[in-house]
Amino acid sequence: MPTDKRITDLLKLHNMREKAKLGGGEKRIKAQHAKGKYLARERIFMLLDPGTFEEYDAFVTHRTHDFGMEEQIFLGDGVITGSGRIDGRLVFVFSQDFTVFGGSLSGAHAEKICKVMDMAEKMGAPVIGLNDSGGARIQEGVVSLGGYADIFLRNVLMSGVIPQISAIMGPCAGGAVYSPAITDFIFMVKGKSHMFVTGPNVVKTVTHEEVTFEDLGGAKTHSTKSGVTHFACDDEMQCLQHIRKLVSYIPQNWREKTPKRVSVDDADRIEMELNHVIPEDNTRPYDMKKIINLVVDQEEKPKSEFDEEIDKNKKEKKTKSTKGLPELVKPGFVSSFFETQELFAPNIITGFARLDGISVGVIANQPSKMAGVLDIDASVKGARFVRFCDAFNIPLVVFEDVPGFMPGTFQEWRGIIKQGAKLLYAFAEATVPKLTVITRKAYGGAYDVMNSKHIRADYNIAWPGAEIAVMGSAGAAEIIFKKEIDAAKDPKKAFDEKVEEFKEKFANPYEAAKFGYIDDVVEPSETRIKLIKALRMLQTKVQSNPKKRHGNIPL
């Protein structure tokens, strides 16, 4: 039989745990729920597999005695930390509790986050931060600032070592924004999340601009204008579900191979619709996402206990992203393509998918947006994605239809030369398996940049109607045959003839294939089969870059 002391000790432990679960108390819990926001613990339980969360440092408290802080002690000090599982795979997580000092960061709060980050590095597992904080705790002064810097240092040192994911579930301002900015992916919730270095009041004081919280740093702003966030979610439930989905595509750490699932889609599937996607008029747009969705694996639509609530919150509304996509291969199946930064720089597409069950990173020009041209935003977006995939052994699959780089003073004065070079640098530096499909156009320097054979791409194929040249046929004919056209009795007829002559000689994939720059010219319907065979062949690829401290990417 337990002694009275042991019973007392167990009761104390039980009471302490219950007290820690209360965070800032019932009143503040109700206020959080009244805002339509979940509690820090609720978010963790929705994110992780049921019953897998193990909490650390639940009894940590701050050590401040100024400004009456010694009378305000809350167990956990405003952040919940621990480990758990997503689809059975280990992850580490911290979730800031807005009910405790507005989730503000103290020295103790920062130490808890640093501890769980250090554990994630040692175990080689992703770290996920659920941010909901008013920023540095003013009462602690430089100690709280030092705490942020301790976190920043770990973000940098762990970059490319383990995946780092940030979800902004509420405010995130001042120095607090730099930690998410360094991490690999950022999620925001529409109407609830805000990120900015300085808030609307400071902006008004300094620049005399009047701007709302939402316009300055809301999910819409950062998903369309700044490109800071990768996912703008309708609600917290969808945000946490999307994090789970993202984790399914990426390895635990830089040493692991890309994840592989048993595919229910036929590796030998021929997709005849691909033969009819490209318009006969090569100036007409089409949706590259249709090609991507037809090529990548189709998967059974996942079922979850949250599906009904997500559908209810969406109110069955159709989003722009679903328009123009192909019909599913069969009912109950969906494309494995999971797009990142969908609303930012839409002239380039980035995202994850599966081919034969293997996770791949997809980068594609989008002819339906600005003709798929590469501009500053598209170059930076693509480069960042390519470098993430290369850091974590995820093969790259490129769908190319690019007329070149965006001309004009706006682009030149803002550094399109340097910014475009980032995409070139990223592709050239990458040593993971790299595959390219040229669907229609590959003009000028953009042909080189978009994972060409010349920058160590492994497998390059083109569709029969592909045009690989310095520039379009009309522009080339104007330059090459200028004298003949000017001297002709009918300049327009002469011009048209010379355009056709140039097309016949250069605007086809066989000229590039002649030099080995294209490995094969394939029927569009066989694209999936060809890519899967190449991907299987490349599973044992070994390639490295020259030994050095690190490269100097043009920032």
- Spatial distance between the Cα atoms of 279 and 286, rounded to a whole number of angstroms: 7
H/E stretch holding 167 reads strand 164-168
* Straight-line distance from the first to the last Cα atom of the chain, in angstroms, rounded to the nearest whole number: 68
Shared domain for 290 and 176, answered yes or no, is no
What secondary structure letter does DSSP report for 316? T
> What residue type is assigned to position 261 of the chain?
R
Residue 217 is among the residues annotated as catalytic for this protein: no
pLDDT digits (tens, 9 = 90+) for 522-548: 999 999 999 999 999 999 999 999 999
Domain span at residue 90? 9-249
Among 30-34, 328-332, 435-439, the range of highest mean pLDDT: 435-439
Tell the burial category of 540 from Cβ atoms under 10 Å away from its Cβ (0-12, 13-18, 19+).
exposed
- Spatial distance between the Cα atoms of 410 and 401, rounded to a whole number of angstroms: 23
More confidently predicted of 448 and 301: 448
More confidently predicted of 81 and 20: 81
Nearest to 358 by CA among 265, 426, 255: 265
Instruction: Kindly give the interhelix angle for 40-47 and 236-249, rounded to the nearest 10 degrees.
Output: 40
- The answer to whether residue 481 is domain-embedded is no
Shared domain for 288 and 216, answered yes or no, is no
pLDDT band per the 50, 70, 90 thresholds, residue 23: confident
Shared domain for 214 and 97, answered yes or no, is yes
Q: Give the global pTM.
A: 0.92
Percent of the chain with pLDDT over 90: 70
CB 132 within 8 A of CB 94: no
Pairing of the two strands 298-300 and 333-335 = antiparallel
Q: What tokens does 451 get?
A: 């994972």
Asked whether the predicted pLDDT for residue 320 surpasses 50, the reply is no
- The answer to whether residue 549 is domain-embedded is no
What is the pLDDT averaged over residues 309-323? 49
- Spatial distance between the Cα atoms of 483 and 38, rounded to a whole number of angstroms: 72
Pairing of the two strands 333-335 and 338-340 = unpaired
For 56, the 3-state DSSP assignment is: strand
- The answer to whether residue 201 is domain-embedded is yes
> What residue type is assigned to position 420 of the chain?
G
Last residue in a domain, options 249, 281, 310 = 249
Shared domain for 349 and 395, answered yes or no, is yes
Residue 67: predicted pLDDT? 67
- The answer to whether residue 533 is domain-embedded is yes
Backbone angles phi, psi at 53, to 5 degrees: -75, 130
CB 538 within 8 A of CB 393: no
CB 242 within 8 A of CB 351: no
Shared domain for 285 and 200, answered yes or no, is no
- The answer to whether residue 142 is domain-embedded is yes
CB 283 within 8 A of CB 344: no
Beta bridge partners of 338: 352
CATH number, position 533? 3.90.226.10
- Spatial distance between the Cα atoms of 274 and 525, rounded to a whole number of angstroms: 5
Shared domain for 401 and 440, answered yes or no, is yes
Residue 312: predicted pLDDT? 56
pLDDT band per the 50, 70, 90 thresholds, residue 73: confident
> What residue type is assigned to position 264 of the chain?
V
- The answer to whether residue 491 is domain-embedded is no
Lowest-pLDDT range of 19-28, 344-353, 443-452: 19-28
What is the pLDDT of the chain when averaged over all its residues? 90
For 227, the 3-state DSSP assignment is: coil
What is the pLDDT averaged over residues 477-506? 79
H/E stretch holding 483 reads helix 482-487
pLDDT band per the 50, 70, 90 thresholds, residue 307: low
Among 103-112, 216-225, 309-318, the range of highest mean pLDDT: 216-225
H/E stretch holding 187 reads strand 185-189
Residue 445 is among the residues annotated as catalytic for this protein: yes
Shared domain for 343 and 243, answered yes or no, is no
Catalytic residue among 78, 107, 134, 174: 174
Shared domain for 233 and 283, answered yes or no, is no
Residue 174 is among the residues annotated as catalytic for this protein: yes
Beta bridge partners of 118: none
- The answer to whether residue 159 is domain-embedded is yes
Q: What tokens does 273 get?
A: 């619709």
Shared domain for 171 and 283, answered yes or no, is no
Asked whether the predicted pLDDT for residue 513 surpasses 80, the reply is yes
Shared domain for 519 and 452, answered yes or no, is yes
Beta bridge partners of 233: 189
Residue 315: predicted pLDDT? 52
How many residues make up the chain in this entry? 555
Backbone angles phi, psi at 184, to 5 degrees: -75, -40
Q: What tokens does 214 get?
A: 């939402």
Look-up of token digits 């000790």: 9
- The answer to whether residue 227 is domain-embedded is yes
Give the chain's largest Cα–Cα span. 113
Shared domain for 84 and 205, answered yes or no, is yes
Residue 34 is among the residues annotated as catalytic for this protein: no
Asked whether the predicted pLDDT for residue 21 surpasses 80, the reply is yes
- Strands (DSSP E) contained in 333-412 are 333-335, 338-340, 348-355, 358-365, 396-402
501-530: buried (b, 16+ CB within 10 Å) or exposed (e) per residue?
ebbeebbbbeebbeeebbbebbebbbbbbb
Catalytic residue among 124, 146, 160, 175: 175
Catalytic residue among 160, 227, 357, 445: 445
Look-up of token digits 């590039």: 512
H/E stretch holding 390 reads helix 376-391
Catalytic residue among 232, 446, 507, 534: 446
pLDDT band per the 50, 70, 90 thresholds, residue 321: very low
Shared domain for 354 and 278, answered yes or no, is yes
Nearest to 515 by CA among 452, 463, 473: 452
Domain total in the chain? 2
- Spatial distance between the Cα atoms of 542 and 282, rounded to a whole number of angstroms: 38
Nearest to 185 by CA among 260, 253, 242: 242
